Amino acid sequence: MEKESGNYVSDIHDAAYEAAYLARRLDSGTLVSAVGRPAESLNGKWNFAADWYDSCKRAKWFLERRVDEAGRPMPLDWDWEAWEPMSVPSSWNLQKPELFYFEGSGLYTRTFRYLPKIPGERAFLRFEGAQYRTSVFLNGEHLGTHDGGSTPFSVEATGAIREDNRIIVVVEAGRRPGRVPPDNTDWFNYGGLYRDILLLRMPPRFIKDWFLRLVPDGSFSKLAIDVELSGEGLGAAKGGEARLRIPELGLDESIPISGGRGSSVISLDVAACLELWAPGKPRLYGIELSLLGPGGEGIDALRDRVGFREIRISGSDILVNGKSVFLKGISVHEDHLRLGKATDEATIRAAIAHLKELHGDYLRLAHYPHDGRFARIADEEGVLLWEEVPVYWAVDFSSPATYADAENQLAELVIRDRNRASVAIWSVGNENADSDARLSFMSRLAAKARELDGTRPVSAACLVDHERLAIADRLAEALDIIGINEYYGWYDPDFSKLPRILDNSKPSKPVIICEFGAGARLGHRGSVDEHFTEDMQARLYEEQVAVIGACPYIKGMSPWILYDFRCPRRLNRYQERYNRKGLVDADRVSKKKAFATLAAFYASRAEPAAEGDA
Ligand code: GCB
């Protein structure tokens, strides 16, 4: 706002202060891949204050003005070093009791030293996830602002970084109707810098992103790779090329670069004998990707381990490496008693171990992108994943800004994980009412997912038409797999509707039951008709798997849910602010009766091991 009068003070009178920060966006276009490169961690103890009134951004505290224009010391409202330490990464809600329900702006700050190590070095800061709007300031400069609580973002710090640095990060965790997800969800709104923060040192020209995959044409003999570079003089560099090496396949392939991008389709020598990645058989190959200068000199290089597999849809079949599968899954939230939305490797591995105990091979990572380590570990463990963006319930489907936010989150997720063989399905949302605005919003998202990655099916968790008793969501047209959430036997006690719905429906595509379930308080036992008993939950699982297992077009399921999770809208005496539909208590240890019911069903659906299989 313009200064209008002599008594105008921008620090307190500028109600539109946010606009300047939103003008510098961090999004999928600024995202830089950190894969396979050394990175320095900025995790650790930061100083933190709950900035209830967003004063850092309103009054520009990040400028660190300690004296006024006349050089006189100013009375300051901020005091970085005096503020309490806060662990990064963490969900602030679980760090201090008074922050448990805090949904405002949290101000984090720390100092760090930096000395460039290579000529022309470019410095980037990469955030793996912060909930929800994050503004990054370095040495008094606003570097950018990111929206979206579960996807990575990065920013170039080259111009602003010095030997001694002060970084300030303001994370605002508000639930708002125009956001993705909107204000009303069925999970806890954890806030803060809850995933890793990295400092990346890049050469002047480097590989910003790459996408390597098996071409899904049924031949299992072609790889495709795209690379995108960052830096000046990209296409002009005569003779510049990227190289892909996969030593175990004897592959050393040149990827010509033009205009900062390069693409190749590589036909594999049949003698190279590619071993496919498959659930339960997680074959990964070491790859080396490098960028060479005009004289063939190495400019940039990274390494990773990648699996090659194919997922295709044929009629109502999901084909993994050409074989029709039934995905034996369970849904899981990123919610932990002690860690909140933050996680660690042991927690991820423990969830996968529970899946394996269930004789399952597939996890639905609900309802937002989980930590990037999940897909990497699933790659190693041989487990398939459904990954989803939080287009959840009543998103503001008619708002262009909300669409832009959703599309950006989808792009950041796909770019982060499209090299991961474990990731099988992109989901563009969950349980949204079938309106025209929603149909156009989510169809566009589905198209965007395909534009970014033409190798994976796109789905969404839809609702059945409970008046016509049929699978009839108009969005199905835009999807490759129809996801269905249904709670017959729970929210609707008339279980007989489920077989009727399945009989009434003739989908031309595979269907996955993304959710069914029943609440059960651990240890609460009683009759099979009594809500919140383990006994009712187990009975419901028996009934559900009998019907689902007999339906020819259902090709997978991920019941709701592996673990109980915090949920402030669940307030009865059995729930006590937890959603209790877990097969395992929120302690992630104690199993309920229905765990064994599902395990028995999945064991009965186990594929006989093929001859020669390990
Ligand atoms: C649903 C939602 C999920 C909820 C679940 C429930 O359909 O997709 O987020 O937590 O039902 O427990 O009601």
Q: Please report which residue ranges of 304-435 form alpha helices under DSSP H.
A: 345-357, 372-381, 400-417
Q: Which two tokens stand for residue 184?
A: 């009303």
Cα 102 to middle of ligand 1, angstroms? 23
Pairing of β 317-320 and β 44-51: unpaired
pLDDT at 5: 83
Triad 234, 237, 242: Cα angle to 5°: 70
pLDDT higher than threshold 70 for residue 431: yes
DSSP collapsed to 3 states, 237-281: CCCCEEEEEEHHHCEEEEEEEECCEEEEEEECCHHHCCCCCECCE
- Could you tell me if the CB of 485 is within 6 A of ligand 1? yes
Cα 579 to middle of ligand 1, angstroms? 9
What mean pLDDT do residues 93-110 have?
Answer: 98
Residues of the chain with pLDDT > 90, as a percent, come to 94
Tokens 């920060």 correspond to 21
517 CA closest ligand 1 atom index: 12
Number of H helices, E strands in the chain: 10, 32
Name the residue with the closest Cα to ligand 1, atom 10. 186
Tokens 């390494």 correspond to 303
Name the residue with the closest Cα to ligand 1, atom 9. 186
pLDDT, one tens digit per residue, over 528-564 is: 999 999 999 999 999 999 999 999 999 999 999 999 9
Cα 489 to middle of ligand 1, angstroms? 14
pLDDT, one tens digit per residue, over 29-56 is: 999 999 999 999 999 999 999 999 999 9
Q: Compute the distance between CA of residue 223 and CA of residue 255 in angstroms, rounded to an integer.
A: 12
* CB-based contact 430:366 (threshold 8 Å): yes
209 forms beta bridges with 228
pLDDT, one tens digit per residue, over 251-310 is: 999 999 998 999 999 999 877 789 999 999 999 999 999 999 888 899 999 999 999 999
- Could you tell me if the CB of 459 is within 6 A of ligand 1? no
Q: Compute the distance between CA of residue 358 and CA of residue 161 in angstroms, rounded to an integer.
A: 50
Amino acid found at 475: L
Cα 146 to middle of ligand 1, angstroms? 28
Residues 6+ positions from 448 with CB-CB distance below 8 Å: 407, 410, 411
Q: Compute the distance between CA of residue 362 and CA of residue 129 in angstroms, rounded to an integer.
A: 24
Name the residue with the closest Cα to ligand 1, atom 7. 485
What mean pLDDT do residues 175-180 have?
Answer: 98
Mutate to test the pocket of ligand 1, among 365, 432, 512, 515 (most ligand atoms within 8 A of CB): 515
366 CA closest ligand 1 atom index: 9
What mean pLDDT do residues 205-210 have?
Answer: 96
What mean pLDDT do residues 225-248 have?
Answer: 81
Cα 186 to middle of ligand 1, angstroms? 6
Average pLDDT of the chain is: 96
pLDDT, one tens digit per residue, over 569-581 is: 999 999 999 999 9
Pairing of β 565-566 and β 578-579: antiparallel
Higher pLDDT, 379 or 235: 379
Does the pTM surpass 0.85? The reply is yes
Cα 502 to middle of ligand 1, angstroms? 21
Cα 560 to middle of ligand 1, angstroms? 7
Q: DSSP letter at 93?
A: G
Distances (CA, A) of 169 to 43, 408, 410: 13, 21, 23
What mean pLDDT do residues 596-606 have?
Answer: 97
Cα 255 to middle of ligand 1, angstroms? 46
pLDDT at 269: 82
Q: Compute the distance between CA of residue 89 and CA of residue 43 in angstroms, rounded to an integer.
A: 6
pLDDT at 273: 87
579 CA closest ligand 1 atom index: 12
pLDDT at 531: 98
What mean pLDDT do residues 426-440 have?
Answer: 97
Q: Which two tokens stand for residue 447?
A: 């198209």
Sheet strands side by side (includes 317-320): 311-314, 317-320, 323-324
Q: Give the three-state DSSP class for 333.
A: coil
pLDDT higher than threshold 90 for residue 232: no
What mean pLDDT do residues 374-393 have?
Answer: 98
pLDDT, one tens digit per residue, over 324-338 is: 999 999 999 999 999
pLDDT at 614: 41
pLDDT at 31: 98
- pLDDT-derived band at 610 (thresholds 50, 70, 90) equals low
pLDDT at 159: 97
What mean pLDDT do residues 413-441 have?
Answer: 98
Q: Compute the distance between CA of residue 507 and CA of residue 493 in angstroms, rounded to an integer.
A: 25
- pLDDT-derived band at 612 (thresholds 50, 70, 90) equals very low
DSSP collapsed to 3 states, 465-527: ECCCCECCCHHHHHCCEEEEECCECCCECCCCHHHHHHHHCCCCCCEEEEECCCCECCCCCCC
